[in-house]
Amino acid sequence: MDFTLNDEEQAIHDLTEQILADHSTNDRLKQIAAADDHVDRDAWAALAAGGVVGAAIPEAHGGLGLGYLATATAVQVAASHGSPVPLLSTSVMGAMPIGEYGTDAQQASWLPAIADGSLLSATALFETGTSPAKPLTTARTDGDGYVLDGEKPMVDGGLQAGLLLIPARLDDGSIGVFLVPSPSDGVTCQRVEVTTGRPQAHLTLSGVAVGGDALLGEGAVDGAEIVHWIARRTIVAMCMQMAGAAQSAIRLAAEYTKERQQFDRPIATFQTVSNRAGDSYIDTEAITLTAWQAAWRLDQGLPADDQIHMAAYWAAEGGFRVVHAATHVHGGVGVDRDYPLHRHFLLARQIELTLGNGEEHLERLGRSIAAS
């Protein structure tokens, strides 16, 4: 495996780093949080103008036609800056499945606006008490169209999205993914506070009428396959986010412990502190390596389920340890909202809670190994 970025992917990484270093300063991020916006519109516009937002969108629709890895590296950089830009919800969960499964008309209708930054999207992947590929939301046939009913809690980016991707169960029990403009009649969007402080949406769908052309791929592909495709890329992108958050947390801890002194010595020279730093470094390397391995295999079209479970395990378990260690060695400074560490801590906790218990991923990996 060669994780070296090609020239175009490296350009996306470097440009994302440059843009967010300029836009996502600590002072700017505090202003955005105080304004209760939770999306850095200026940074998003700059990323769109530079081609980062549409990196994986086909060139025919305003993108760069690159693969998953290009967007995944941008997601990692955004997390390392704690930047509230919706690369996960819009570029990974929205644009990519439309580019992969959408008809020519669907791609032409939605992708150019996503690429130029004027349209945000969100995918309502999760429901209470069921898996993403077995939605309880229904889509009953109504003439040439469909009527959607159901609830979708915890939709990342749902409050700001102008396009919603809604998995639903069809009359015959199969699954479809629907492209629903927001706002639409019958769609109620309620704010939900979450760990990161960037609210998500609770969507209620009540008699939402859509045309037959709203079904992603218009029935040419099994919707359960589409949901699985989205879910795998979403999990890996969250692992890339964890890698970015862990890298920044350990960097802040290193800088602080070299400057903070007790007994006329930097606390970085104390054995307990240096041991925790060493453990955090190992965890961060494992999080990063396994996330990149999974992202690379997805980008190359290779089987990746085992690698995804490995990445999710390290993100959930290792990420928890890294951000807690970083907060601990900072002392009281670590919980000060004027200091940037809290953004990485909260993002890491949100990812950990969303990915689920690391032992579940180990169990699935064990079953896969035993069956091989």
CA–centroid distance for 249 within its chain:
18
**Three-state SS letters, 125-174:** CCCCCCCCCCCCCEEEEECCEEEEEEEEEEECCCCCCCEEEEEEEECCCC
pLDDT at 34 over 90: no
DSSP helix/strand/coil, 52 = coil
Average pLDDT over residues 239-245: 98
Do residues 145 and 209 lie in contact, with contact meaning Cβ atoms separated by under 8 Å?
Answer: yes
Kindly indicate the confidence band of residue 143, based on its pLDDT and cuts at 50, 70 and 90: very high
Instruction: CATH 1.20.140.10 in the chain: give the residue spans.
Output: 225-371
Kindly indicate the confidence band of residue 35, based on its pLDDT and cuts at 50, 70 and 90: confident
**Which pTM does this prediction carry?**
0.95
Q: CATH homologous superfamily for 225-371?
A: Butyryl-CoA Dehydrogenase, subunit A, domain 3 (1.20.140.10)
Angle between helices 68-80 and 223-259 (to 10 degrees): 40
Residue of 158, 68, 169 lying closest to 122 (CA atoms): 158
200 forms beta bridges with 192
Summarize pLDDT for 60-76 with one digit per residue, the tens. 999 999 999 999 999 99
Instruction: CATH 1.10.540.10 in the chain: give the residue spans.
Output: 7-119
Average pLDDT over residues 12-17: 97
Report the b/e string of 20-35 with b at 16+ CB within 10 A: beebbeeeebeebeee
Q: CATH homologous superfamily for 7-119?
A: Acyl-CoA dehydrogenase/oxidase, N-terminal domain (1.10.540.10)
What architecture does CATH give domain 123-220?
Beta Barrel (2.40)
* Whole-angstrom distance, CA of residue 255 vs CA of residue 291: 25
266 forms beta bridges with 261
Higher pLDDT: 4 or 163? It is 163
| pLDDT attached to residue 57 | 97
* Whole-angstrom distance, CA of residue 342 vs CA of residue 5: 30
Kindly indicate the confidence band of residue 1, based on its pLDDT and cuts at 50, 70 and 90: low
pLDDT at 108 over 70: yes
Position of tokens 């169960």?
Answer: 169
Pairing state between β 121-123 and 187-192? unpaired
Summarize pLDDT for 290-320 with one digit per residue, the tens. 999 999 999 999 999 999 999 999 999 999 9
Residue of 95, 135, 132 lying closest to 115 (CA atoms): 95
pLDDT at 2 over 80: no
Position of tokens 């890329």?
Answer: 233
Nearest-Å Rg of the Cα atoms of the chain is 21
pLDDT at 47 over 90: yes
141 forms beta bridges with 146
Residue of 73, 44, 69, 126 lying closest to 353 (CA atoms): 126
27-32-34 Cα angle (round to 5): 95
pLDDT at 221 over 70: yes
- What single string gives the DSSP state of each residue in 252-275? HHHHHHHH-EETTEEGGGSHHHHH
* Whole-angstrom distance, CA of residue 311 vs CA of residue 303: 14
Kindly indicate the confidence band of residue 337, based on its pLDDT and cuts at 50, 70 and 90: confident
The pLDDT > 70 percentage for the chain reads: 99
| pLDDT attached to residue 66 | 96
Instruction: CATH 2.40.110.10 in the chain: give the residue spans.
Output: 123-220
